Amino acid sequence: MSERNPRPRLALGIALSGLAVCGVVLSFYPTDHLADPLTLALAVCAVCATATYVPLGGKLLIDASFVPELVAIAFLGPWPTFAILAVSELGAWGLQRYRLAVVPINLFSVGSAGIAASAAFASLSLSPGLGFYLALGAAGALTLTLNYVLLVALIGLLDGYVIGKRLGAQSKIVPALAINVCLGVAVSDVYAQAGLRVIVFVLALILAFNYMVRQALLARNKTREVEELAAMRSALVNQTLDVEERERRGLAESLHDGPIQSLLAARQDLEEGQHGDPSSIDRAQAAVDQSISQLRDAVSHLHPSVLEAGGLSAAVAALARAQSKSGGFVVDARVDPSSEGIHDKLLFSLIREFLSNAVKHSNASRVRVNVERSNGAVLLEVSDNGDGFNPGCLSASVADGHIGLAAAAERVERAHGSLKISARDGNGTEVEVAIPLATSEASAPRPRLDEALASVRQDQ
């Protein structure tokens, strides 16, 4: 509620002023029915109805508390009607603990509508009969409509959403409200015919029905959640299998293009040595040595033992030395000790992927790697001063099977992290990754793979 946004202050000001007006209006009406047994019974039923509310559409709540309100409108007058509404609303706040700022808004919305309907109905001086119940049903419908319009308008001011759109967005509550009106009229008729004991029994049945509806909806929601979790698990399994398949394919390509080619060259050199060319023996020896080195790199890629033995800092340092030699660039690597031991395997695999890309594509002379811990997350930054790339080519590259960055984005997504790539065509690339210290600390949904790839931007 800052000075820059006066709408929340305006919403609370209207609600509090409206409650003051309600107090003035109530002062013109007698309070003799406040201690009436019917008032007490209806207040208890309203609180019980609130305790067994039915959730619809997230924060929207539907309950049977309007039934006792409508009976109060029919037989008790404005003061008992407002008192029952106030008790119900305060009971709802005590049970559900929603925002305190909403309490005066709710009280004004339901209270003003109830007072207006009760005063209007009392002025008709109707006796129980067809006209009585038709008028009562109309009063109930008008009460709910006024309550809903005031509530949406004031909450819209409080929260800053577009009021007009929200007014028409909750059409699904109309059947539930219509049932409340019908039940209220029916219970009023029962009370007019049989008195207080029967109405308490009927209201108890209504509350029991309300509770059963709530349980049915909760069971349906749990079933939907189980189905969604099963679908997510299936998708995760499929993604894991896809990643494993890509890793196997990448290993096969690496072995085929590396050690196997070197060993084939060594075999050819040995055959030439057998035919009298002594220099081919030295070439064969060099090819075998190269194959051994490539196989060691492949084994290290599959199981980086230095990561388990020396930790992330030592593993990154060893990886930086190896990739620096392969890429012909200088690697400036820094790992904050406070960031180690949390997501080491994931961070190491990401750094390896990003440095490998730099070796293959960047033509850089310097690469910077930085890992630190900040604001409940581990931050990774890898940047180079190389050629960069055109961000528009990334999707096509993924489609052609170059899925290194895509696989990295998937791994980050599964850890509830975020990945951003800043590509400057002709002037280097920067990758930024943020991973929460614990999955449970992630308070907002993270970008999916397509969103992560779409976050690549071109800096002019």
Q: Which residues pair with 331 in a beta bridge?
A: 367
Residue 422: pLDDT band with limits 50, 70, 90? confident
User: pLDDT tens for residues 136-160?
Assistant: 999 999 898 888 888 888 888 888 7
Highest averaged pLDDT of the listed ranges 60-69, 72-81, 353-362: 72-81
The pLDDT value recorded for residue 132 is 93
Distance between CA atoms of residues 346 and 358, nearest Å: 18
Helices (H) and strands (E) in the chain, counts: 16, 8
Does 4 score more than 60 pLDDT?
no
| Of 218-232, 336-350, 359-373, the least confident | 218-232
Q: Tell me the H-state helices in 66-129.
A: 66-75, 78-96, 102-124
Beta-carbon count within 10 A of 421 CB: 22
User: pLDDT tens for residues 387-418?
Assistant: 877 655 555 554 444 456 777 777 888 888 88
Whether the Cβ atoms of residue 210 and residue 63 lie closer than 8 Å to each other = yes
User: pLDDT tens for residues 270-321?
Assistant: 888 887 777 788 888 888 888 887 776 666 655 566 666 678 888 888 888 8
The pLDDT value recorded for residue 244 is 66
The pLDDT value recorded for residue 457 is 38
Residue 276 buriedness (CB in 10 A; 0-12 / 13-18 / 19+): exposed
The pLDDT value recorded for residue 330 is 92
Question: What domains does the chain contain, in order, with CATH numbers?
Answer: 7-194 (1.10.1760.20), 304-460 (3.30.565.10)
Distance between CA atoms of residues 321 and 315, nearest Å: 10
Mean pLDDT over residues 419-428, rounded? 78
Confidence (pTM): 0.49
The pLDDT value recorded for residue 441 is 39
Mean pLDDT over residues 225-238, rounded? 72
Residue 379: pLDDT band with limits 50, 70, 90? very high
Tokens 């108890």 found at:
204
Residues 96-133 as b or e (16 or more Cβ within 10 Å = b): eeeeeebebbbbbbbbbbbbbbbbbbbeeebeeeeebb
SS3 content of the chain, % helix, strand, coil (to 5): 70, 10, 20
The pLDDT value recorded for residue 411 is 80
| Mean per-residue pLDDT of the chain | 79
Whether the Cβ atoms of residue 68 and residue 45 lie closer than 8 Å to each other = yes
Mean pLDDT over residues 224-242, rounded? 71
Q: Tell me which of 458 and 84 has the higher pLDDT.
A: 84
The pLDDT value recorded for residue 286 is 83
User: pLDDT tens for residues 158-186?
Assistant: 887 766 666 665 566 677 778 888 888 98
Q: Tell me which of 172 and 34 has the higher pLDDT.
A: 34
